A and B are shown apart, each in its own frame.
Chain A
Amino acid sequence: MTGGTGALEDMNELYEAIILDHYRSPRNTATVEEPDIDFEVNNPFCGDEFHIQLKVENDAVSQVGITGRGCAISQASASLLAELVKGKSASEVESAVSAVRRLLKGEEITDAEAGILGDIEALGGVRKFPVRIKCALLSWVGLGDALRDHVVK
């Protein structure tokens, strides 16, 4: 890695290359027509807000769209979320949300979960920056809540 002063090098675990990549080029940013799940999450305290839409076909997420703005961590996290949920069933998504929550809190995740999360493990770097955990969790918590509401409907 190049650039950055000594002091800023300490942030490398927070801003891993994969995080910066998703921040600069977020994936799945087109809006979804007639979404089945449609919700907004925001953290007014930091100034993050995202609009997240999912289309579910044959019990699997077929389309996902995330628009909004936020810090590098919340944006990258939302973009990683979008990549992960595509093609997954509701229960798979719920397990992933639960694994991400545990990852960010510094709790154990199984090897199988780590395999599912893939790049998302890079978000674990926020653990050293506790005030930023909320940023990383924002879209995942929102998705968890939205799924619960969706199932109830």
Chain B
Amino acid sequence: MSDSTLTAGSRVFDVDAIRADFPILKRKVNGQDLVYLDNAASSQKPSQVIKSLVDYYEQTNSNVHRGVHTLSIEATDAYELARTKVAKFVNAPRSEEVIWTRNTSESLNLVAATWAEANVGEGDNIVITAMEHHSNIVPWQQLAFKKGAELRYLAHNDDGVIDLDGAASVIDSRTKLVSATHMSNVLGTINPIAELAARTHEVGAVILVDAAQSVPHMPVDVQALDADFLCFSGHKMLAPTGIGVLWGKYELLDEMPPYMFGGDMILEVTYEDANWNDLPYKFEAGTPNIADAIATGAAVDYLTELGMDNVWNHEQELTAYAMEQVLSLDNVKVLGPQDPALRGGVISFIHETIHPHDLGTALDQQGIAIRTGHHCAMPLVRSFDVVAAARASFYIYNTKSEVDALVNGISETEGYFSR
């Protein structure tokens, strides 16, 4: 099978059939059909993924990398196979470059505590965008305080599009690391990672990509992006909570000091000293999250069968439709790129008269789940002179009629509050 047929998928992209795979979509919320539009926070799970967890615990459960008995061998094989699937999913050259973590936040902290700890010094700078999730701000702030380094921000325009010309001067000879979100969880903006990577490498720095919002929704190729590190969370891409990924270039990972110490990450321990295991185990101290890693493999299989091109096209179509419908409401303003082609399936909006929190409660009464608040991006949300926004975000199982339900739900809420 060639790569293009892989991203095109082996299963027909049929939303009704997809919906049938997600048991939770059958439930009612406040007596109404559930309309789940909080996918940027966490996705739902198909029965294939749930079954993989049950199968693991019923058939294979054991510890990995340490036994000669059948169950341990099977568990190890399944755990490592999932790693291989993830590697292939993002086109990583080697599966040893895929490190299991708990989530994107842990992946980012891992790089901050190891690579950046060893490579960022006084007077150096770290560059991030002004639209990062707190998880991709705070570790760098802390590191910068500690090292006497500078934290710089790449600006964006009113439409939430990064100023690449400006980036050329922000990223300079003292830049050690550029860490940027591939897709904003608030604005939906898709950032020009390949261009940022080119500029980053020109100055000899390293680029980390927060792909928490991109890997679940679009084809992502770490080599095409020329990323050095890239991280994402299982729970946003059909997999369970508690499992995430850090991918890094082999040479970088190989040189990095360990993150945590303990079992599995060592090669040899004496009473006096220890030396470190090979990649990826050097970064996986202790018994890992075996079941959820295996289930992440099942999630990757599910997405691969659908084809990430199809996933992306579905969400693009839905986003374009939703932008049009939401913007047809008089009192609603959408944050981020107004051109649907520049964004993913995340639509944050402000209602002129209804506070997001009231809207969230009213939509919940109608069975519609959206996110309200600062979306873990307080500086960004505040930069639009608001303290909170409402956000609808889509995934493979969402439909145009659910977008209609959202728009109708907002209208009903307007009616309710003007009674």
List the interface of chain A (C-beta within 8 A of B).
Answer: 1-5, 7-8, 10-11, 14-15, 20, 42, 44-49, 69-73, 129, 131-132, 135
Contact = CB atoms under 8 A, between A and B. Distances in A.
B357 A71 contact: yes
B357 A47 contact: yes
B201 interface: no
Measured as residues with beta carbon below 8 angstroms from the partner, the interface class of chain B is 20 to 34
B362 A11 contact: yes
Contacts of A70: 355, 357
The SS class assigned to the A binding surface is loop
Given A1-B419, A46-B388, A10 B357 contact: no
B365 A10 contact: yes
B42 to A, nearest CB: 17
B373 A71 contact: no
23 contacts: A3-B418, A4-B412, A4-B415, A4-B416, A5-B366, A7-B31, A7-B366, A8-B412, A10-B30, A11-B365, A14-B361, A15-B416, A15-B417, A46-B356, A46-B372, A46-B388, A47-B387, A48-B357, A49-B387, A69-B387, A71-B358, A72-B417, A129-B361
**Which 4 A-B residue pairs are closest in the complex by CB-CB distance?**
A47-B388, A47-B387, A3-B419, A71-B357
Contacts of A2: 419
Contacts of B47: none
Contacts of A44: 374, 378, 387
Given A4-B412, A71-B356, 18 more contacts: A2-B419, A4-B415, A5-B415, A7-B366, A7-B412, A8-B413, A8-B416, A11-B362, A11-B365, A47-B355, A47-B372, A47-B388, A69-B355, A71-B357, A72-B417, A129-B361, A131-B361, A135-B357
A89 B194 CA distance: 64
B32 interface: yes
A48 B355 CA distance: 9
